[in-house]
Amino acid sequence: MNTTDPKTKAYIVTVSEEAAGQRLDNFLARLLKTVPKTHRYRLIRTGAVRVNKGRKKADYKLCLDDQIRIPPLQAEDAPRTQKAPPSFKRIGATLLKAVLYEDEHLLILNKPAGIAVHGGSGLTVGVIEALRQAHPRGEHLELVHRLDRETSGCLMIAKRRAALRGLHEQLRTGKHIQKKYRCLVQGQWPGSQLINFPLQKNTLHSGERMVKVSETGLSAETRFTLIKAYPGMSLMEAMPITGRTHQIRVHAAASRHPIAGDEKYGSLSFNKQLKKVGLTRLFLHAYELQLVLPYNGQKIRIIAPLDNALMRVLAQLNPTGDPHDPCR
């Protein structure tokens, strides 16, 4: 329900059940979708937008019946254009072609490497922003989880709030959902190994996020299983049991098997070696997703094949020239 404050002319928006659980910035992106993103964040930062008469940060999760005060838009906040910029259209078209599964509640796509899931930190276009412009139900789309910008593969996008809440519960408890990744690592890593190093997240002065193994960190578990051995390196399946930031990358590096192309936690010399065979990105791919759809109980298994660039790298590493590869 929306009302207007007769004194200030500000809009008072009451959060409905459908909107409950959304981040404040995402809620405003839908409500004020023609207002430039920088202005929306300024309204939050300066306290012009208030929740229950108090200031809130952009990542505040809205609750049912919260009262959001939206001030009258000033001239500099007024909508400039409703036309999506070329970058949004181009990326949106690419993402729609990458859809692996879709129903009335959920969309799963094979996210390309190099596209952030969310705009920010100097990036104006992310997966969710581009899809909101390109998809017919774009205004209702919400990220279920995240992938690093340079990580490709299965990414879930909820089309309804009930689906979002149900999937978040599965991710929180670890029940009915399983994610598997493919990664190329340095060295010979035989068999299967469960890594359970606790992880601690830190933010540098530059704003960059870094994660390290620490006894005071949060518990984290990843199972690594060998898929195929190559000279001096191994193609692994990584199955995260918990869902910490950069978990697979840090666990691999801490096990002395850094992931190829990892410029944050990896090996400079190993990365240079792989560049010679055409690897220009992080070799980490969300390959498989198994889950129970919370809205109908159906079990689904989604596979996102490795892209051609990663397949070409593996082909050059294969000493026998065997065209068969277990990633397909």
The CATH number covering residue 183 comes to 3.30.2350.10
Mark whether 288 and 197 lie in a shared domain: yes
Q: pTM for this structure?
A: 0.75
User: Is 80 exceeded by the pLDDT of residue 165?
Assistant: yes
In a domain, 165, yes or no: no
Instruction: Tell me the residue type at 75.
Output: A
Residues 16 and 58 in one domain: yes
Which domain covers residue 25, as residue numbers? 2-76
- 52 and 107 housed in the same domain: no
H-only helix segments in the chain: 24-31, 37-45, 86-97, 127-134, 161-173, 247-254, 268-275, 308-317
* Assigned domain for 148 exists: yes
Residue 86 has pLDDT above 60, yes or no: no
- Residue of higher predicted confidence among 89 and 177: 177
Residues 208 and 127 grouped into a single domain: no
**Dmax over Cα atoms in the chain, in whole Å?**
78
Q: Mean pLDDT throughout 50-76?
A: 84
Residue whose C-alpha is closest to residue 155's, from 286, 58, 38, 5 = 286
pLDDT at 202 over 50: yes
Q: What integer is the mean pLDDT of 288-304?
A: 96
The answer on 311 and 180 residing in a single domain is yes
Of 65, 148, 307, 322, the active-site residue reads: 148
Inside any domain, residue 81: no
Asked if residue 120 belongs to a domain, the reply is yes
Per the structure, the count of domains in the chain is 3
Within a domain: 322 = no
> Mean pLDDT lowest for which of 34-38, 159-163, 188-192, 293-297?
34-38
Query: Given this model, what pLDDT does residue 8 score?
Result: 57
Identify the domain boundary among 131, 158, 185: 158
Which SS3 state, helix, strand or coil, does residue 287 take?
strand
Average pLDDT, rounded, for the chain: 86
The predicted pLDDT at position 79 comes to 40
| Residue that is last in its domain, among 76, 109, 127 | 76
Specify whether 148 is catalytic. yes
CA distance 155 to 137: 17
Record the tokens describing residue 236, joined without a space.
Answer: 């692994």
Kindly state the percentage of the chain with pLDDT values over 70.
86
Instruction: Give the domain-ending residue among 22, 53, 76.
Output: 76
Q: How confident is the model at residue 190 (pLDDT cuts 50, 70, 90)?
A: confident
